[in-house]
Amino acid sequence: MELHEALALDAADPLAQCRARFVLPEGVIYLDGNSLGALPRATAATVAARVEHEWGDDLIASWNKHDWIGLAQRLGERIAPLIGARSGEVLVSDSTSINLFKLLAAALAARPGRTTILSETGNFPSDLYIAQGLAGRTSARLRTVEADAIEAAIDADTAVVMLTEVDYRSARRHDMARIAAAAHDAGALMLWDLSHSAGAVAVDLNAAKVDLAVGCGYKYLNGGPGAPAFLFVAEALQDQLESPLSGWLGHDDPFAFAPDYRPAPGVARFQVGTPSILAMAALEAGLATFAGVSMAELETKSRRLSDLFIALAEARCPELKLASPLGSRGSHLVFAHRNAYPLMQALIERGVIGDYREPDLVRFGFAPLYNGFAEVWRAVDIMAELLATRGYDQPRFRQRSRVT
């Protein structure tokens, strides 16, 4: 494919106009929205209004006047259609790791007599760490198996199956509905981490009969660095599950200041302490970038972008070995290269922002709202030029990247 053909794909792209919803630096091809989403154009003004007009002018009265108290649930309602959840099933709060702790602990308590949290050996490490921390203080245990052994490993001791839909390295995508059905057949609950899925591919939690989910606000949802995360609890389960982090905002009547905790009905019981209202302003602006976009067309474009990257890289960068599946996957790609670290550093110097992953992977994310086909073409063009002119055939110093 030539550049003019890629430009023609952009011209015909129904989502192309969404790029104007973002501010992207000149000369940068940003292929790291899977680590930190780009800055939406509306964010600065949305945050400034909350700082100056709400906090500054209305001070404490803003909790009611600007419904700060309802923000966690209102933003949950905005995320719900992106992940196939119903109204009242999603809450914005805390971090992905903390939400995972809440839901895992609640799931274990809802399956008395069962002690196993079953996960995948290659799951995102923080998810495994959280399960380890929980297991270390209770009678529960974390058991991890390889991806293809999960269904066979679900047994009568499995309280909850905890998996990430889209692998943070390979982008391999699990079959949510099939694994959820296997968990249910064994009487276990199913929990999905949607951090690398939400806002990039079409997720339908209720169609897949998922019980529990968590996800990240700062990747494809464009909520800003360290944005508040979200959690999902299927409606039918909400009143059976209780959060171990029983903070006052999850209380049925937080402002009564009653001495005993009594969980709120519904998903609100998974709130803990007072959330950052400024961080939620940025997440609100991030979620607004999805206005009018269907998740099906988003996923279609995601797939076309990454398919194009694979085809161009195969043709022009044969030294790279695709380490992502050709089949079902999320919206990023990884390639192995013996000098992955200096290659990625050189790409970044040339304005192509992806990231390096231990031990030998370069990773590129495709955010369908703002990435385009000509960007993909140019990124591969730059990479081909670097590989052809600079070599990268000698091992070089590697240092660790600091982002996910």
Taking the least distance from each CB to a second copy, the nearer of 81 and 254 is: 254
The binder of a second copy chosen from 3, 17, 64, 395 (CB under 8 A) = 64
Residue 165 C-beta: closest distance to a second copy, Å: 18
- Which residues, numbered 203-242, are part of the site for a second copy (CB under 8 A)? 218, 224-229
The dihedrals phi and psi of 207, each to the nearest 5 degrees, come to -60, -35
Strands 189-193 and 212-215: parallel
265-284 residues near a second copy, rule: CB under 8 A: 272-280, 282
Interface residues for a second copy in 29-48 (CB under 8 A)?
30, 32, 35-36, 38-39, 43-44, 47-48
Please tell me the distance from the alpha carbon of residue 73 to that of residue 71, in angstroms, as a whole number. Answer: 5
Interface stretch with a second copy, choices 27-35, 77-85, 232-240, 366-374 (CB under 8 A): 27-35
Site string for a second copy, 65-94 (x = CB under 8 A): ---xx------------------------x
Binding residues for a second copy restricted to 108-147, rule: CB under 8 A: 109, 121, 125-126, 128-130, 132-134, 136-138, 144
Q: How many angstroms separate the CA atoms of 16 and 4, rounded?
A: 16
Q: Phi/psi of residue 213, each to 5°?
A: -155, 155
Stretch that binds a second copy, among 95-103, 152-160, 200-208, 380-388 (CB under 8 A): 95-103
Contact with a second copy (CB under 8 A) among 116, 243, 324, 339: 243
Which residues does 145 contact at the CB level (< 8 Å), separation at least 6?
118, 120, 121, 153
By CB under 8 A, tell whether 336 contacts a second copy. no
For position 295 contacting a second copy by CB under 8 A, the verdict is no
Indicate which residues carry an active-site annotation. 124, 193, 218-219, 363
Q: Are 323 and 170 in contact (CB under 8 A)?
A: yes
Contacts 24+ apart (CB under 8 A), 132-140: 133/101, 134/101, 134/104, 134/105, 134/108, 138/108, 139/115, 140/108, 140/115, 140/116
Vertex 127 angle, CA 121 and 131, to 5°: 90
Report the residue number, 169 or 184, with the smaller CB distance to a second copy: 169
Query: CB-based contacts of 97: which residues, under 8 Å, 6+ apart?
Result: 126, 127, 129, 130
| Number of Cβ atoms within 10 Å of the Cβ of 382 | 16
Neighbouring C-beta atoms of residue 3, cutoff 10 Å: 12
Q: Which is closer to a second copy, CB of 48 or CB of 296?
A: 48
Burial code (b: 16+ CB inside 10 Å, e: under 16) for 122-151 equals bbbebbbebbeebbeeeebebbbeebeebb
Q: Select 47 or 268, whichever has its Cβ closest to a second copy.
A: 47
Smallest gap from Cβ 121 to a second copy, in A, equals 7
Would you give the end-to-end CA distance of the chain in angstroms?
Answer: 31
Question: Of the two residues 96 and 331, which places its CB atom closer to a second copy in the complex?
Answer: 96
Q: Which of residues 339-378 bind a second copy (CB under 8 A)?
A: 348, 353, 355, 357-358
Residues 6 or more apart in contact with residue 162 via CB below 8 angstroms: 100, 104, 117, 118, 119, 123, 127, 131, 191, 193
Size of the site for a second copy (CB under 8 A): 88
Q: Which is nearer to a second copy, 313 or 361 (CB)?
A: 361
Tell me which of 11, 14, 17, 25 binds a second copy, using CB under 8 A: 25
Nearest approach, Cβ of 180 to a second copy (angstroms)?
25
Least Cβ distance, residue 98 to a second copy (angstroms): 6
Q: Does 149 bind a second copy (CB under 8 A)?
A: no
Paired residues of 161 in beta bridges:
118, 190
Question: Is the Cβ of residue 134 or residue 203 nearer to a second copy in the bound state?
Answer: 134
12 binds a second copy (CB under 8 A): no
Contacts of 12 (CB under 8 A, 6+ apart): none
Q: How far is the CB of 110 from a second copy (least distance, A)?
A: 12
**10 versus 261: smaller Cβ distance to a second copy:** 261
Among 3, 149, 156, 258, binds a second copy (CB under 8 A): 258
Percent of the chain that is helix, strand, coil (3-state, to 5) = 45, 15, 40
SS3 label, residue 151: helix
